[in-house]
Structure 1
Amino acid sequence: MTDRPQYGEYATPEEQRRLAGLPPVDAVTEAPIATAAPAASAAEAAPAQPAARPWDRIITIALLTYGVVNVFMTGMSYLDLPTMMNESMKILGIEGEFTNFAQGKVWGTVAAIVLVVGWVLTAWLSMRRLRSGKLTWWLPLAGAAATMLVASVCITIPMMNDPAFIAYLDGASGR
């Protein structure tokens, strides 16, 4: 073994940089050091910040509020479907009364449940999207359209099996 110093052992940082062909320490600007962290620990350390869209939040909450009022009012009328069908038949000018009470009660209850479940699902998805910062105003509209489509099918079933309505359709097709 030799007592000779190893490379850079006694050199100052400035001498080491000069001998390595690097610029002086004073000439180097501080740059942030980007370290690659595992995806799980990065997500735990700094959760994603939602984009600031106060108008989206206001519109979404307003639509959900309107939706819950609509679900309550419409759901209550669906629970008394025979009365609603009689009123609808009078408005359409259909003679006779709605007499398909058994199916009307069952399918009216199913339609009311569909409205509630559709609103709850829409509200849950909307809140998740709002928390993650995604654009959400369209979701209550799409949820309402999909829910009303399913509920409409539910109330159409007893209407299409009602003798007065069938007679009206037979008379309208024969004209």
Structure 2
Amino acid sequence: MTNDEAARPETPEPGTPAPPSADERPRPRYGEYAPPGWSWQPPESAESSTPAQPARPEPVPAPQQPTPSDAPAKPARRAPGWDRILTIGLLAFGAFGAWNSAASLQEIPRQMQLSYDLMGVGTFTPPEWLPTLVLVGTIIQLALYAVVLGLSVLRLRAGRLAFWIPLAGGAASFVVTLVLLSIVMLNDPTYVDFVTGVTTPTPSPTP
């Protein structure tokens, strides 16, 4: 064989299939050469072999700390047993005192005459406005006792101290009586003249 024959490429014989040509394109990845509309689905065996992920438990909220406003209120301290007995006794005494004060207002003319007799300044003449003043004073005394009675009963039912209410009502009743008597005395010219020294007492006749 000559050198020309050795360098000549071998030609396949007629009827012999040509060897497959190597595909120079890169291997497809992730469906680069897939037809339009096609998508890859994992095989059923792969889906069944993949273990299901356990559901993550939801966090349990921490218990809330009670605020001062949510704290139960302390029960109110009830009054001792002696308060009820003392209050009822004072109310009974106050009823008698209110009636006595209202009745004493009706006796103002007689009391003023007794004062005139002691001072020796003559006879007391009641002014025209004295009956009206006596009526107003009587209503005030009775209304004051009604208020004291109502407040005392409310506090007794609530279990709170109530004995001081009749005491305060008695003090207020005494002040009202004193004010009314002062109005009568200070508006009487004879009494004012005697107190200021303008009028001298008349000596009582000797037997």
Which runs of no fewer than 5 residues in structure 2 stay unpaired? 1-51, 58-65, 201-207
Give the TM-score normalised by the residue count of structure 2. 0.55
- Given that residues 83 and 162 in structure 2 are in contact (C-alpha distance below 8 angstroms), is that contact kept between their aligned partners in structure 1? yes
Partner secondary structure for residue 197 of structure 2: helix
Residues 73 and 121 of structure 1, relative CA distance in 2, 3 Å threshold: same
Match of 2:81 among 30, 54, 63: 54
The match for 1:31 is none
Residues 173 and 85 of structure 1, relative CA distance in 2, 3 Å threshold: closer
1:67 equivalent in alignment to 2:94: yes
Q: Distance in 1 between matches of 2:86 and 2:56?
A: 71
- Given that residues 118 and 144 in structure 1 are in contact (C-alpha distance below 8 angstroms), is that contact kept between their aligned partners in structure 2? no
CA drift of 1:80 comes to 3.5
Q: What amino acid sits opposite 2:196 in the alignment?
A: D
The residue correspondences of 1:26-175 to structure 2 (distance < 5 A) are 51-90=78-117, 93-95=118-120, 96-171=122-197
Q: Identity over aligned residues, as a percent?
A: 30
Q: Distance in 1 between matches of 2:115 and 2:138?
A: 17
Residues 63 and 88 of structure 1, relative CA distance in 2, 3 Å threshold: farther
Q: Larger radius of gyration, structure 1 or 2?
A: 2
Aligned residues: 145
Q: Distance in 2 between matches of 1:3 and 1:173?
A: 118
CA drift of 1:88 comes to 4.5
| 1:70-122 alpha-carbon deviations (Å, 9 max, x no partner) | 111221221242123223444xx322332133232222222211111111111
CA drift of 1:57 comes to 0.9
Q: Distance in 1 between matches of 2:150 and 2:89?
A: 15
- Given that residues 101 and 177 in structure 2 are in contact (C-alpha distance below 8 angstroms), is that contact kept between their aligned partners in structure 1? no
Q: Distance in 1 between matches of 2:131 and 2:106?
A: 7
Partner secondary structure for residue 119 of structure 2: coil
Q: What amino acid sits opposite 1:94 in the alignment?
A: M
- Given that residues 86 and 97 in structure 1 are in contact (C-alpha distance below 8 angstroms), is that contact kept between their aligned partners in structure 2? yes
When the two chains are superposed, the root-mean-square deviation of aligned CA atoms in Å is 3.7
Give the TM-score normalised by the residue count of structure 1. 0.64
Higher relative contact order (CA 8 A, sep 6+): 1
Structure having the larger proportion of residues in helix: 1
